[in-house]
Amino acid sequence: MIRFAFVTLGLVAALQIARLRPPDVKFVGTPQNVVEAMLALAKVTPADVVYDLGSGDGRIPIAAARRFGARGVGIEIDPVLVRQSEENARKAGVDGLVRFVTEDLFRADIREATVVTLFLLPWMNIDLIPRFQSQLRPGARIVAHNYPIGDWEPDTVDTFTDSAGSTRTLFLWNIR
């Protein structure tokens, strides 16, 4: 009976993962000092729920939990990266504050988010506009690294040189 349960659960998980499409982009990690700048620009507090769309190895939700005491949710289509994120959160001691979901970011329920972070391609940011408009509440913030969200006018633009000498631009929008 127990063996049957594990086999059944494994098949269900495999079918769920099989339904996801391939990633739109290859994972490129955001440098840690840029992660910190994104969270600072959004003025993250312990009251926030930080959603990272395309969360890769989980560094943004983990940093939000570790540095600010915020809850974090990573949405990532690659199940291998989700498992890596869960392990990274455990090692950082914040696995009680963060969770990672194997899901398509274009279909994810983000209504709980008070902060959304993005390091996506321009077309992806644009395709997320209807989700932002329908699901984010007034007071929520969106921080995007390198690329704006279409023709949305950001409330703040911050350009700086990161620790490797690269120029980085962050965009912040406050949902009204």
End-to-end CA distance of the chain: 53
64-121 confidence digits (pLDDT tens):
999 999 999 999 999 999 999 999 999 999 999 999 999 999 999 999 999 999 999 9
| Residue 11 covered by a domain | no
For residue 155, the enclosing domain spans 23-174
pLDDT at position 33: 94
Question: Does 6 map to a domain?
Answer: no
β-pairing, 115-118 with 167-174?
Answer: unpaired
Partner residues linked to 100 by β-bridges: 74
Q: Is residue 99 part of a domain?
A: yes
Total number of domains in the chain? 1
Contact between 68 and 44 (Cβ < 8 Å): yes
Is residue 53 included in any domain, yes or no? yes
> How confident is the model at residue 4, as a pLDDT?
44
> Would you say residue 27 lies in a domain?
yes
pLDDT tens string 115-136: 999 999 999 999 999 999 999 9
Please tell me the predicted confidence (pLDDT) of residue 164: 86
Alpha carbon 50 to chain centroid, angstroms: 7
Beta pairing partners, 52: 74, 117
State pTM to two decimals: 0.87
Q: How many CB atoms lie within 10 A of CB 21?
A: 8
List all residues 6 or more positions away from 122 whose beta carbon is below 8 Å from its beta carbon: 147, 148, 150
Q: Tens digits of per-residue pLDDT, 141-168? A: 999 999 999 999 999 999 999 888 999 9
In a domain, residue 5? The reply is no
Q: Give the CATH number, domain containing residue 37.
A: 3.40.50.150
Judge whether 12 lies within some domain: no
pLDDT of residue 27: 86
SS3 145: strand
Residue 1 inside a domain? The answer is no
pLDDT tens by residue, 11-65? 444 444 444 778 777 888 899 999 999 999 999 999 999 999 999 999 999 999 9
- Under a CB-based contact definition with an 8 Å cutoff, are residues 175 and 140 in contact? yes
Could you give the CA distance from residue 146 to residue 79 in angstroms, rounded to a whole number? 25
